Amino acid sequence: MTTAREDLRNIAIIAHVDHGKTTLVDQLLHDSGTFREHEQVDERAMDSNDIEKERGITILAKNTAIEYKNTRINILDTPGHADFGGEVERIMKMVDGVLLVVDSYEGCMPQTRFVLKKALEQKLRPVVVLNKIDRPNARPEEVVDEVLDLFIELGADDEQLEFPVVYASALNGTSSLESDPAQQENSMNPVFDTILEHIPAPIDNADDALQFQVTMLDYNDYLGRIGVGRVFRGTIKVGQQVALMKNDGSVKKFRVSKLFGFIGLKRIEIDQAKSGDIVAIAGMEDINVGETVCPVDQQEALPLLRIDEPTLQMTFVVNNSPFAGREGKHVTSRKIEERLMSELETDVSLRVEQTASPDAWVVSGRGELHLSILVENMRREGYELQLSKPEVIIKEIDGVKCEPVERVQIDVPEEYTGGVMESLGIRKGEMLDMANHGNGQVRIEFKVPSRGLIGYSTEFMTITHGYGIINHSFEEYAPMVKGQVGGRRQGVLVSLENGKASTYGIMNLEDRGVIFVEPGTEVYAGMIVGEHNRDNDLTVNITKEKHLTNVRSANKDNTVTIRKSRKMSLEESLQYLNDDEYCEVTPESVRLRKKILNKNEREKAAKKK
């Protein structure tokens, strides 16, 4: 007869980007009395690093625990972005149920589908939370139907289809079991009670042989690698001698030097943990995701965890531009390599390969966002480097060359649908579905090769005048589409000389295209200073000064105004690149440049091609 640990629940919170997962966790933490009365807590407390706070997205899965009615609820906040899908999938292995958060206006989105599919495959029990119920245009009844349709479409079993629904406004801290916004109560108790009632408690098999599986990695300068995971059966104690079943089949023995449990946002040292607990273990140098910790005399490994394969790669190169070393403190190849290797300690979806050159590495990740966040972290830490154009990773499956394909969902006002369909058609997109929401908004679904989406978001924003919303998630590897897919159509304006961009120089170039730099910006020969309005590159003199003469001109006293320059973020710059260009990234600047800086050498290379 197996008993359950009624004093414990393990759940993951899953949702599409921006549907309010992290805000909901905040409210649950506040409402459960986990924080002391005067404790200072940030908004979106779970998004702990700067980039997460600035962009309002969750990048790393995080865990927290709350006490409610003598029950400990372990909550895992997961990322909603497809680039971090690997994190979501592994977390599903640690929990017994999920809280699916859906925006009561937007309804089911691509990532809702993606994360729910992962949860249903693991046979987890769902609780649906319809968030943002206080929005003026919320449509709770319709959205519940949409959610039910999605469950059926993804093959949910009868038990999963009987999901309970809680209506909430995480921002206001209210919730209720009724869909009428007027009946919201000022607490999160309906959410807690539904969790206790519907999410199964873990089985209590603390007397059996130990099995603990690592699902996430952390790193600490004093303790080295820390494995975070769940005790699936048995008990683990500090000082215990255990065996680690490695992914490659080998076995290593080690002693558990420290154990940590979680409460609120803190990690607390504990002496022992038993089946069902989510804990962190220290004392192992090379512990990896998916490995099993078990007794030395009873070695049984749990099934390996599938880690999402990278789909995009970029070359990281030591900065060798004329401005190298001006702003960063880490500029040597040794420093960059050390930093990339330390990233591998905690990021399991990343790959770093050496190249023939000691100054370049091929770095592969799950997508543009995944890689650009690594670069953004590095530049904030004082690194300088150059990056090549992102490229998709081609695989050979059964002798056929295959490339990654994404499912793209687009929400746009009706008048822009033609432009969007035409632009994705050029990028070899195939339309799957189109639905008119009746309020002037149209939702279209496509399948598009990943390489067709590189650099697409800027074009998409232009076509839809900023009113469109685009979401995409990895669908599958499919045979390669023939011919050119996507890519930039415009040529660029390239600086001829070193110096400072002058107002006069910029004015003379305005009718040739869009300028990227402002007067007074330092430029070097070979640096990209603007976009040409034709499809060829043009070398220009942007540093040119006006020659002063002693002849007064009639319009001398008119003041000149120049157009605003186009500023590009790191992601936009990476998307903008062509094959013969680099993006130079330093702590203070992001510049675009040609790989070959000298004009004559560039022209020779182009002729050879």
For the annotated binding site for GTP, the residues are 18-23, 131-134
Q: Residue 408 to residues 120, 151, 155, 162: CA-CA distances in angstroms?
A: 22, 20, 21, 29
Q: What phi, psi does 359 have (nearest 5°)?
A: -105, 10
Annotated binding-site members: 18-23, 131-134
Instruction: Find the DSSP H helices in 345-387.
Output: 368-380
353 neighbors 430 (Cβ within 8 angstroms): no
C-alpha span between 208 and 274 (Å, rounded): 10
Enumerate long-range contacts of 170-176, CB under 8 Å, 24 or more apart.
Answer: 170/20, 170/23, 170/24, 170/26, 170/27, 170/131, 170/132, 171/20, 171/23, 171/132, 171/134, 172/134, 173/27, 173/30, 173/31, 174/134, 175/129
584 neighbors 591 (Cβ within 8 angstroms): yes
- One-letter identity of residue 1: M
Element (H, E) at 434: strand 430-436
Q: What phi, psi does 573 have (nearest 5°)?
A: -65, -40
- One-letter identity of residue 594: K
The number of beta carbons lying within 10 Å of the beta carbon of residue 344 is: 12
C-alpha span between 462 and 451 (Å, rounded): 19
Q: Which residue has the tokens 């401005």?
A: 323
411 neighbors 443 (Cβ within 8 angstroms): yes
Angle subtended at Cα 362 by Cα 358 and Cα 367, rounded to the nearest 5 degrees? 155
Enumerate long-range contacts of 73-76, CB under 8 Å, 24 or more apart.
Answer: 73/8, 73/9, 73/10, 73/11, 73/32, 73/192, 73/195, 74/8, 74/9, 74/10, 74/11, 74/262, 74/277, 74/278, 75/11, 75/12, 75/13, 75/25, 75/28, 76/10, 76/11, 76/12, 76/13, 76/278
C-alpha span between 15 and 23 (Å, rounded): 12
Query: Tokens for 578?
Result: 């062509």
Angle subtended at Cα 158 by Cα 155 and Cα 159, rounded to the nearest 5 degrees? 115
Helix (H, G, I), strand (E, B) or coil at 391: strand
C-alpha span between 470 and 474 (Å, rounded): 14
